[in-house]
């Protein structure tokens, strides 16, 4: 089996007609089955190429025929396999990115020190500063004993890093070094320009040092930019690997770490599932904060609501179909809407009342621009997994579109932030009720979870502050609640209503003639906790609808600046839809309950 010859070389020399040269070199290398990278720039050439030894020598000969490259001096090494996967010839502004004006290695370089001379200085113990100009991830695999790393992630950061070096170094002899010497061609002259008195550059870099004197005064191996990753002082492949995820070079020992998974992670970038989940939650929270801060419903915008024609209305006129689908709509309302051009046909044009409809067609109702009332947009993500999202809902904030609220709602916020996912709240809170809301991440999980709520298998706990001094430590209210809404959407106690049961536990009595309770709704009727307490003579503090003395208020939703309604969804337990084990979620306690309820 033929061994592969690897060369690295660079030369600073004025170059022109680079596009034609690129095509010529690419054709030449492919014809000789060479692989690697050649960089061409007006300032010179930089290359890393591998192939059969004879083909490499022919490439070197070809390059030396180019103007300014007659003295090109490659550094050689061998490998068992081809370390490159393809052949690239690229045009660049610089063959080594630096971005500093006035540094031109074709005109001036700092004094060079040969590897043998550097070894002699180190043998003698001379007082010199060895400055490693490479990136931190390269230094990690190895460097000269006692060398100072410049501390950068990219060579373009070198100028800023040099300016941060201690002022006292400017009077010391400094020897700069890198992999093959090319970076020092710019690094060392820049240091001189910044006032360093005595700067040398290691001729040929670490690889030339290995080639001429071996590994004395050097600890570890040398990082190289190909599949070999690292070379030992004998210029043999070391067995190190590079993490695909973070590009950190890894020693053979580090590659045995269980956190190293080829193509995924290594000990330096490994993140547990919990870490990944928290990182996703932080990212989602940032998006949620950005979106909800603007309160989209507070800016005028038309609302478009789809209306899909059912099979039972096929062939009817549009007016007849709408009357059939929405029997409670006032007479003439749809005709007025169509006359104003606010009902659009499937093709987007205004729909006429006598238009014949077809099953499955989708019409769009356009609700004119309006400004919705302000809400509390400080929604917080408590947790998320593959099936569930736990949200802390502030108040006042409606959960769903209703009345004057269409975009200033929790559901709208979540759908915009999680798009293209559609989170589905699996239970409801009043707009004025704060606390824990659980959402299913998919329709599938929503279907699995809903029966637990409808069958009363979900344990829910609320914190509630009520008017009056509650005397019983524990009590139960089981008055039936009307299914149909009354004035302002309120619910009332009614003998023929739906069964409703709530258990209460007294937590604290306050001097202002209020009490703090823990409520456990056994059933899930609309406004159940509020209605039960109101009927029992202990209305919820701050409730705008169910007032003291069995009076009803004139509004349902509080304003942002109003005192809060003291009802808070605190804790919820259910069977997880994936693994079936009981899980419990909890929302932080509100300020009005925090001092009374232990954490």
Residues that are catalytic: 178
Cα–Cα distance for residue pair 568/435, rounded to 1 Å: 5
**C-alpha 3 chain-centroid distance:** 45
DSSP state of 355: P
Cα–Cα distance for residue pair 231/237, rounded to 1 Å: 5
Cα–Cα distance for residue pair 200/172, rounded to 1 Å: 11
Cα 36 to Cα 42, 84, 127, 183, 192, distances in angstroms: 20, 5, 40, 19, 34
* Helices H / strands E in the chain, number of each: 15, 31
Q: What's the token pair of residue 277? A: 């989940």
3-state secondary structure 446-509: HHHHHHHHHCCCCEEEEEEEEECCCCCCEEEECCCECCCCCHHHCCCECCCCECCCEEEEEEEE
Cα–Cα distance for residue pair 340/350, rounded to 1 Å: 9
Q: What's the token pair of residue 36? A: 């690697």
Cα 138 to Cα 9, 436, 480, distances in angstroms: 19, 49, 74
Cα 287 to Cα 125, 284, 413, 417, 427, distances in angstroms: 58, 5, 10, 6, 24
Cα–Cα distance for residue pair 352/362, rounded to 1 Å: 14
Burial code of 322-358, b = ≥16 C-beta within 10 A, e = fewer? bbebeeeeeeeebeebbeeebbbbeeeeebeeebebe
Look at residues 97, 59, 94 and name the one whose alpha carbon lies nearest to residue 76: 59
Cα–Cα distance for residue pair 299/502, rounded to 1 Å: 40
Bridge partner residues of 317 (DSSP):
356
**φ/ψ (deg, to 5) at 61:** -60, -45
């Amino acid at each position: 089996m033929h061994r592969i010859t690897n060369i690295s070389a660079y030369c600073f020399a004025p170059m022109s007609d680079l596009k034609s040269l690129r095509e010529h070199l690419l054709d030449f290398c492919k014809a000789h089955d060479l692989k690697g990278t050649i960089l061409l720039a007006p300032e010179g050439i930089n290359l890393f190429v591998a192939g059969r030894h004879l083909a490499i020598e022919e490439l070197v000969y070809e390059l030396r025929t180019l103007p300014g490259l007659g003295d090109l001096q490659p550094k050689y090494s061998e490998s068992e396999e081809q370390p490159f996967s393809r052949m690239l010839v690229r045009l660049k502004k610089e063959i080594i990115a630096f971005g500093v004006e006035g540094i031109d290695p074709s005109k001036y370089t700092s004094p060079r020190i040969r590897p043998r001379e550097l070894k002699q200085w180190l043998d003698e113990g001379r007082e010199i500063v060895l400055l490693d100009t490479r990136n931190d991830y390269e230094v990690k695999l190895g460097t000269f004993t006692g060398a100072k790393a410049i501390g950068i992630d990219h060579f373009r950061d070198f100028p800023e890093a040099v300016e941060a070096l201690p002022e006292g170094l400017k009077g010391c002899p400094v020897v700069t070094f890198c992999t093959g010497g090319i970076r020092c061609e710019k690094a060392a002259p820049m240091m001189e320009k910044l006032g360093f008195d005595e700067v040398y550059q290691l001729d040929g870099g670490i690889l030339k040092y290995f080639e001429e004197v071996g590994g004395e005064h050097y600890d570890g191996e040398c990082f190289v930019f190909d599949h070999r990753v690292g070379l030992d002082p004998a210029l043999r492949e070391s067995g190190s690997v590079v993490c695909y995820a973070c590009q950190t070079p890894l020693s053979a020992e580090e590659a045995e770490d269980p956190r190293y998974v080829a193509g995924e992670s290594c000990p330096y970038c490994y993140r547990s599932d919990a870490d990944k989940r928290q990182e996703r939650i932080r990212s989602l929270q940032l998006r949620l904060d950005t979106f909800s801060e603007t309160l989209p419903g507070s800016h005028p915008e038309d609302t478009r609501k789809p209306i899909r024609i059912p099979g039972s209305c096929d062939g009817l006129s549009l007016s007849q179909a709408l009357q059939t689908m929405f029997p409670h709509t006032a007479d003439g309302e749809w005709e007025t809407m169509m006359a104003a051009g606010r009902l659009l046909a499937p093709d987007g044009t205004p729909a006429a009342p006598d238009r014949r409809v077809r099953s499955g067609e989708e019409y769009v109702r356009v609700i004119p621009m309006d400004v919705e009332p302000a809400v509390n947009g400080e929604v917080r993500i408590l947790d998320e997994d593959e099936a569930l999202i736990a949200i802390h809902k502030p108040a006042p904030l409606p959960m769903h579109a209703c009345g004057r609220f269409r975009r200033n709602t929790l559901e709208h916020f979540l759908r915009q932030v999680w798009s293209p996912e559609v989170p589905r709240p699996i239970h409801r809170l009043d707009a004025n009720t704060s606390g824990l809301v659980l959402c299913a991440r998919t329709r599938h999980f929503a279907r699995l979870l809903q029966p637990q709520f409808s069958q009363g298998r979900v344990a829910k706990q609320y914190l509630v502050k009520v008017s009056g001094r509650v005397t019983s430590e524990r009590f139960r209210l089981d008055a039936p609640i009307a299914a149909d809404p009354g004035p302002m959407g309120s619910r009332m106690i009614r003998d023929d209503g739906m069964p409703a049961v709530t258990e209460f536990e007294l937590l604290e009595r306050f001097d202002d003639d209020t009490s703090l309770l823990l409520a456990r709704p056994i059933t899930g009727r609309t406004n159940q906790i509020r209605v039960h307490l109101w009927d029992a003579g202990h209305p919820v503090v701050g409730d705008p609808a169910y007032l003291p003395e069995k009076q009803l208020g004139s509004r349902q939703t509080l304003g942002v600046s109003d005192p809060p309604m003291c009802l808070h969804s605190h804790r919820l337990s259910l069977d997880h839809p994936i693994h079936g084990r009981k899980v419990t979620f909890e929302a932080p306690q509100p300020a009005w309950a925090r001092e009374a309820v232990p954490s």
